[in-house]
Structure formats: structure tokens, C-alpha cells
């Protein structure tokens, strides 16, 4: 495989050699099987090499979101028991502030074009602690000659919207056969094939892009390409698709929205006919948005539903979606998906309830240092997902919302995702979300927040009226807030706890 990141290109042999040198360097720093290494890094080839190195050692990677605060980084470092932290230089000051001096810090210089694309225009400040410089450190290492250990997945920390982030942790698969079963499921979900040309536009601290990259490398080590973008930009994405002949991508619905907001005169400049497979997940996609994308890109847009805890458990092709608009698909082989009511009993088809799921191809998980919280999610071998939905008579899953996001107003259950599906299609709305705020009379009230494409003084009144025309009265928000910046994670998820803080 060839790895292309803006102005840098690496062959598979370059990455393999780097990974073996990093493995030797980590081992000399005391990393042993089962240890954890933190990665405070943006999308660059070194991230992939480090993950390959840790797989050789049987150690865990702990990817950390680059927008995390010092307090959040400190919590993850302590909770995961980091042995080492690797950080890009533009993020290293936060790593320095978060880490005790006992944890070695390896600093990687972020290439200037990537730093600029990420918004880091000035040189990073000097660090006031000892650290290892990546370039000189890696190149002094011999290539790893030790025996191979069973590779471990990363310890992925949840977003922490309710309390401190929890680390989702798995043991290595016990057998090669079990690893093969998981690889086959993921290859199907990602559409991995020899010779695929992939574009990575989502952050590697998220579990899905990381799994996507691993599957792509496994399928096309000899003849594929992986193009890395530091962060998503709608028109730049189209340019890379056209110029590189991209065949495969993983996306989230907000990326679809931003692509569709491009003027038709811009969109028509870019040929996207090379695309064979786009997989999306992360959040429900408004039906009209997805239908527009299928109409534009063709029937190449597929979807899976799952979570960091259970992995992918359902899959819907474009054909499935066109036949069952709004579906997240049917259960994958080796997976179980069901709906339970408030009493914990199975719900009949068409009944809304909590989604429970299991994936037999994945090793069982726990929350690091929080086994009791993991146990609370168990229901006779199935995992409570915290998502609400229903399964129709044909076995297709439909998502409604997150259980914690559901708004109960005057005893009526309101699902913000239903409002958001309409909201994101309205004129001049760049981004938006619905959520609940406390109300003295009804307990909670449904409100929305939006960011606009262009300034508009009467936007709240207009948006309310347009929602009133398309939603039943109980679903019309009581208030519309207009924000200059909209808090979404790089993985496309709305930070609703931040929204509540911004409008309160």
C-alpha cells in the first residue's frame, strides 16, 4: 500500500520498517505486552506506524482526541495507566501540562502543510520538560526481531458526556480463528478489497476510522493507496476523490450535509464516478440527505450501526435503504440485535424501545477500572446500547435517538433526531441540533440551536414557522438559538452538553 499525506508519500515497506523500529524503541522504554501507550496526534502516517508497532508488542494504543483539554488528557493518562505518551509537537504543551514527569514523552514534528491545515499557523512553543525527539529517536532503533504477540485493539475513551470518559477495553482474541472471523466481518462492512484507493477524512482517535484503516491495509498491502486528510473540508474532499480516483471512504452524516451545501457550480467541477463504496455511521442520517447523496454519488453509500462497545452489528446497502428509507439495516452474520421495552422484556416488531446487541466476532469488553458499570449493561449476554429504535416486520432496524437525549415534556416522549432530520434541510441552516432544557411547568422543553450560512436577523422566527409546517405541534421547539460556532466533535457527533452550556 502507498500512504499519501498532503506532500508526503510512504510505501508499505517504509511504514513496516518504521513500525519495527518504533516497536524496538518502545520495548527499550519498558513497554511490555498488555501495556498502554497514549497517542495525542492528528491524522498522519506516524499514527498508523505506531499502531502497527503496538500490535507487534501486544500492547494497547490509547488514542486521545486532539481537542481534549489538559484535564481530560490527564484523566485518560491516569485511568489507562499510560507507559508512554506520543504527541505531535503542536499538541505537546497540553501533553506536558497533563502528564506526570514519570511518563516519557515522545514528540513528533507535525509537517508544516498538515499543521497549517489544522489551523496551527505559529511555531509550537518550547517544552519545559524532557522529551524524546521522534526523528532522532526512531532512526537510532534497530528493527524489532522479537516474537509476535496477539494484537490488541485500542483502548477507546468515550466522549464523557455524563461524567468522566470511560475506556472501552478488550483482551486480545484467544485464537487466530477468532481474529479471522472478526477480520472477515470488518472486510464486509468496510468493503475492503485488493487495490482499493481509500481516503481518510475522519480522526484516527475514533474507533471506526482506525478499524477502517486496518481493514484497508490488510486487504490491499501490495497494491492499494491510502490518502490522509488532516480534517474534513468539503471541496477538498471532492478534489482528492477526482484527482486520486478514490474508491472507498468512511464518512459521517454531517459530512454529507456539508457536501450538499456546496453550490452546484462547485459540485459539477468534480467527477466522483470512481467511488465504489462509502460507509457511514456515527449518527442517524436524515432521510432526505441520504437520498440526495445516493442520487449524486450513486448507489455506493452503505451504512452500519454499532458502537465502540459492540462493534458493527447491522448493515444496510444503498439498495436496502432505497427499499426501506431510514433503515440502519439488518443484523450482520454473527450478530444479534433486538428491542426491549421499559420492563426489559422483548418488544414486538414495530415497537419503540431500547436497542440491545451482541457481536460474537468481537472479544468481550469492559470499561477500564469500571467493571461494575460494564456489568450494568449486560442483559442475558446482550449489551444495552442506550439507543432507541424499532425493528420492522422484515427485520430492519430503525434508529430514533439516544435514550439520554430523549426529551420528556409533560409526559410526552420527544425524539430530537426527528426534529434534526427536518432542521438540517431548512434554508440557510449550516448545522443544527435539538435538545432538552429544564422547564418549570413541563419538566423539560424541546429547543434547537443552529449555525447559519449567512447572517439572518429573523432566522429564529422563520425556522420555527418552517418546522411548524412540517412537524406535529408537540415536536415544534419552544425556542431557537443561533450560534456562531457549532460544537461537534471531529467524528461528527454533536456535543449536546456543550450546547446546553452555550445557551444557558
For every residue of 47-80, DSSP letters joined together read HHHHHHHHHHHT-EEEE--TT--HHHHHHHHHHH
> Does residue 295 sit in the same domain as residue 393?
yes
Please say if the pLDDT value at position 250 is more than 90.
Answer: yes
Q: How confident is the model at residue 140 (pLDDT cuts 50, 70, 90)?
A: very high
| pLDDT score of 163 | 63
> Does residue 463 sit in the same domain as residue 369?
no
Q: Are 70 and 92 in contact (CB under 8 A)?
A: no
> Does residue 281 sit in the same domain as residue 346?
yes
- Which string of DSSP letters, residue by residue, matches 200-267? E-S-TTSHHHHHHHHHHHHH-TTT-EEEE-SS--HHHHHHHHHHHT--EEEE-HHHHHHHHTS-HHHH
How does the average pLDDT of the chain come out, rounded? 93
CATH of the domain at 439: 3.30.300.30
Q: Are 358 and 307 in contact (CB under 8 A)?
A: no
CATH of the domain at 116: 3.40.50.980
Please say if the pLDDT value at position 162 is more than 60.
Answer: no
pLDDT in tens, 169-191: 998 887 888 888 999 999 999 99
Q: Provide the CA 48 distance to its chain's centre, in angstroms.
A: 16
Mean of pLDDT values over 89-94: 96
> Does residue 387 sit in the same domain as residue 251?
yes
Mean of pLDDT values over 207-236: 94
Q: How confident is the model at residue 159 (pLDDT cuts 50, 70, 90)?
A: low
Looking at the domain assignment, is residue 4 inside a domain?
Answer: no
> Does residue 316 sit in the same domain as residue 457?
no
> Does residue 193 sit in the same domain as residue 147?
no
> Does residue 69 sit in the same domain as residue 115?
yes
Mean of pLDDT values over 13-36: 97
Looking at the domain assignment, is residue 58 inside a domain?
Answer: yes
> Does residue 473 sit in the same domain as residue 451?
yes
> Does residue 43 sit in the same domain as residue 146?
yes
Looking at the domain assignment, is residue 175 inside a domain?
Answer: no
> Does residue 223 sit in the same domain as residue 371?
yes
| pLDDT score of 491 | 66
Residue whose C-alpha is closest to residue 445's, from 469, 484, 475: 475
> Does residue 379 sit in the same domain as residue 414?
no
Phi, psi of 499 (to 5 degrees): -60, -45
Separation CA 71–CA 74 (nearest Å) = 5
Mean of pLDDT values over 191-201: 96
Separation CA 466–CA 287 (nearest Å) = 18
Separation CA 51–CA 151 (nearest Å) = 10
Structural domain of 439: 409-503
Please say if the pLDDT value at position 464 is more than 70.
Answer: yes
| pLDDT score of 161 | 47
Looking at the domain assignment, is residue 258 inside a domain?
Answer: yes
| pLDDT score of 130 | 94
Looking at the domain assignment, is residue 174 inside a domain?
Answer: no
Q: Which DSSP letter does residue 474 get?
A: G
pLDDT in tens, 322-349: 999 999 999 999 999 999 998 899 999 9
Cell readout for 197 is 484507493
Select the highest-mean-pLDDT range: 177-186, 295-304, 408-417, 433-442.
Answer: 295-304
Domain count, the chain: 3
| pLDDT score of 477 | 96
Amino acid at each position: 500500500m502507498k500512504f499519501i499525506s498532503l506532500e508526503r508519500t510512504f510505501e508499505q515497506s517504509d511504514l513496516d520498517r518504521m513500525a519495527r523500529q518504533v516497536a524496538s524503541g518502545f520495548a527499550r522504554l519498558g513497554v511490555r505486552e498488555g501495556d498502554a501507550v497514549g497517542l495525542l496526534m492528528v491524522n498522519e502516517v506516524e499514527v498508523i506506524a505506531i499502531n502497527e508497532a503496538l500490535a507487534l508488542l501486544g500492547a494497547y494504543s490509547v488514542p486521545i482526541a486532539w481537542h481534549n483539554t489538559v484535564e481530560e488528557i490527564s484523566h485518560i493518562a491516569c485511568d489507562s495507566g499510560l507507559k508512554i505518551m506520543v504527541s505531535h509537537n503542536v499538541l505537546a504543551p497540553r501533553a506536558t501540562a497533563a502528564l506526570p514527569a514519570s511518563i516519557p514523552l515522545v514528540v513528533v514534528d507535525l509537517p508544516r502543510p498538515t499543521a497549517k491545515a489544522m489551523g496551527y499557523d505559529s511555531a509550537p512553543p518550547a517544552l519545559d520538560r524532557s522529551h524524546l525527539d521522534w526523528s532522532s529517536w526512531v532512526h537510532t532503533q534497530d528493527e524489532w526481531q522479537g516474537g509476535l504477540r496477539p494484537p490488541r485493539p485500542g483502548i477507546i475513551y468515550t466522549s464523557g458526556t455524563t461524567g468522566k470518559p470511560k475506556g472501552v477495553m478488550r483482551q486480545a482474541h484467544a485464537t487466530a480463528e477468532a481474529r479471522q472471523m472478526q477480520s472477515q466481518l470488518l472486510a464486509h462492512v468496510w468493503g475492503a478489497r485488493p487495490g482499493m484507493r481509500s481516503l481518510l477524512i475522519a480522526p484516527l482517535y475514533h474507533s471506526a476510522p482506525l478499524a477502517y484503516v486496518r481493514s484497508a491495509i490488510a486487504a490491499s498491502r501490495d497494491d492499494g493507496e491510502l490518502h490522509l486528510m488532516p480534517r474534513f473540508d468539503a471541496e477538498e474532499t471532492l478534489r482528492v476523490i477526482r484527482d486520486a480516483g478514490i474508491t472507498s471512504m468512511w464518512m459521517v452524516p454531517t459530512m454529507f450535509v456539508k457536501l450538499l451545501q456546496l453550490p452546484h457550480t462547485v459540485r459539477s467541477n468534480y467527477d466522483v464516478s470512481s467511488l465504489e463504496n462509502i460507509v457511514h455511521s456515527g449518527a442517524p442520517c436524515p432521510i432526505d440527505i441520504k437520498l440526495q447523496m445516493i442520487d449524486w454519488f450513486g448507489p455506493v453509500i452503505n451504512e452500519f450501526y454499532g458502537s465502540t462497545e459492540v462493534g458493527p452489528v447491522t448493515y444496510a446497502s444503498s439498495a436496502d435503504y432505497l427499499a426501506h428509507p431510514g433503515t440502519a439495516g439488518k443484523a450482520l452474520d454473527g450478530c444479534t440485535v433486538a428491542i426491549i421495552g421499559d420492563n426489559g422484556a422483548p418488544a414486538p416488531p414495530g415497537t419503540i424501545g431500547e436497542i440491545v446487541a451482541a457481536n460474537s466476532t468481537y472479544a468481550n469488553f469492559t470499561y477500564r477500572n469500571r467493571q461494575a458499570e460494564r456489568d450494568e449493561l449486560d442483559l442475558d449476554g446482550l449489551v444495552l446500547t442506550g439507543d432507541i429504535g424499532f425493528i420492522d416486520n422484515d427485520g430492519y432496524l430503525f434508529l430514533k435517538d439516544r435514550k439520554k437525549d430523549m426529551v420528556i415534556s409533560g409526559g410526552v416522549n420527544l425524539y430530537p433526531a426527528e426534529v434534526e432530520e427536518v432542521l438540517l434541510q431548512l434554508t440557510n441552516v449550516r448545522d443544527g441540533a435539538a435538545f432538552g432544557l429544564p422547564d418549570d411547568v413541563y419538566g423539560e422543553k424541546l429547543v434547537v440551536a443552529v449555525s447559519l450560512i449567512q447572517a439572518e436577523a429573523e432566522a429564529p422566527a422563520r425556522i420555527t414557522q418552517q418546522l411548524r409546517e412540517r412537524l406535529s405541534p408537540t415536536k415544534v421547539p419552544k425556542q431557537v438559538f443561533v450560534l456562531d460556532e457549532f460544537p461537534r466533535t471531529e467524528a461528527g457527533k454533536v456535543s449536546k452538553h456543550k450546547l446546553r452550556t452555550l445557551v444557558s
